[in-house]
């Protein structure tokens, strides 16, 4: 069970998310403005904070900045559609992830699980050597090595980063913009179809060669790697 704080002024959204999180067995507190949210975040022991960007009183980015001076509680930002600047600023200010409104509750819950897991793991030194494995494909983050059925596969840096991002977020569909941010950096100004190009390279090097179907295209959304 995790303790989660929702800071969101749209009470309908906050309530809906609260119900879903409680249904999954979490403890939930809510704040409807930035100042209250910050106070709760600083005084309480939360495992995760869902933080809307557009908030009365103190906006979400400011809440995050002030929170980060004192605590590293994982934060997932809720941003408006196409507010690229919010995402960039949020991640710069130390957000762990973001989700664009309107979102599917399943995706939010999946992202929360990932953020909680990541954070729980990072405190254990044993988790330093990060090894990701999906269906015969193994990726060693520290050594920067990928093997398929034990055979090493040569990847470029960006191919490696793309594969790592998809494997880290396995079973979650990631959109091209998110992948581009992870793979090319937040200041990259090129077209998001660059991701399609790297996916094609990965499919040539892994799927075609080893007869697996690793990366799934989700039409109109993006890509995912499923277990």
Contact residues: Ca ion, CB under 5 A: 9, 52, 54
The H helix count followed by the E strand count for the chain is 9, 12
Cα 5–chain centre separation: 17
Q: Is the peptide bond before 102 cis (omega within 30 degrees of 0)?
A: yes
Output the smallest distance, CB 24 to Ca ion, in A.
23
Residues paired with residue 223 on neighbouring β-strands, in sequence order = 174, 217
Task: Label residue 17 left, alpha or beta by phi (over 0 means left) and psi (-120 to 50 means alpha).
Answer: alpha
Residue with the shortest CB distance to Ca ion: 54
> What's the rounded Cα separation, in Å, for the pair 73 and 138?
30
Output the smallest distance, CB 128 to Ca ion, in A.
38
Output the smallest distance, CB 10 to Ca ion, in A.
5
Considering beta carbons, is residue 52 or 86 the nearer one to Ca ion? 52
Output the smallest distance, CB 65 to Ca ion, in A.
17
Residues with Cβ within 8 Å of 20's Cβ and at least 6 positions away in sequence, in order, are: 105, 108, 109
Output the smallest distance, CB 80 to Ca ion, in A.
8
What tokens were used for 212? 């697996």
Considering beta carbons, is residue 9 or 107 the nearer one to Ca ion? 9
Considering beta carbons, is residue 4 or 55 the nearer one to Ca ion? 55
Q: Across the beta sheet with 137-140, what order do the strands follow?
A: 131-134, 137-140, 145-148, 151-153
> What's the rounded Cα separation, in Å, for the pair 157 and 144?
9
Considering beta carbons, is residue 103 or 201 the nearer one to Ca ion? 103
Considering beta carbons, is residue 60 or 222 the nearer one to Ca ion? 60
């Amino acid at each position: 069970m995790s303790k989660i704080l929702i800071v969101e002024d749209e009470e309908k959204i906050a309530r809906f998310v609260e119900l879903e999180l409680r249904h999954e067995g979490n403890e939930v507190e809510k704040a409807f403005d930035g100042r209250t949210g910050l106070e709760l975040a600083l005084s309480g022991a939360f495992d995760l904070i869902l933080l809307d960007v557009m908030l009365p009183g103190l906006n979400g980015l400011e809440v995050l900045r002030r929170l980060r001076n004192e605590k590293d509680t994982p934060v997932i930002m809720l941003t408006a559609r196409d507010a690229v600047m919010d995402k960039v600023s949020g991640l710069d200010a130390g957000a762990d992830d973001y989700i664009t409104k309107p979102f599917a509750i399943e995706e939010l819950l999946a992202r929360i699980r990932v953020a909680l897991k990541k954070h729980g793991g990072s405190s254990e030194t044993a988790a330093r050597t990060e090894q990701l494995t999906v269906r015969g494909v193994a990726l060693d983050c520290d050594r920067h090595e990928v093997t398929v059925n034990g055979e090493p596969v040569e990847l470029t840096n960006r191919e490696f980063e793309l594969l790592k991002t998809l494997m880290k977020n396995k079973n979650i569909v990631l959109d091209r913009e998110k992948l581009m941010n992870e793979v090319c950096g937040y200041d990259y100004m090129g077209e998001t179809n660059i991701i399609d190009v790297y996916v094609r390279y990965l499919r040539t090097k892994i799927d075609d060669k080893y007869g697996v179907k690793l990366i799934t295209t989700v039409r109109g959304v993006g890509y995912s790697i499923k277990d």
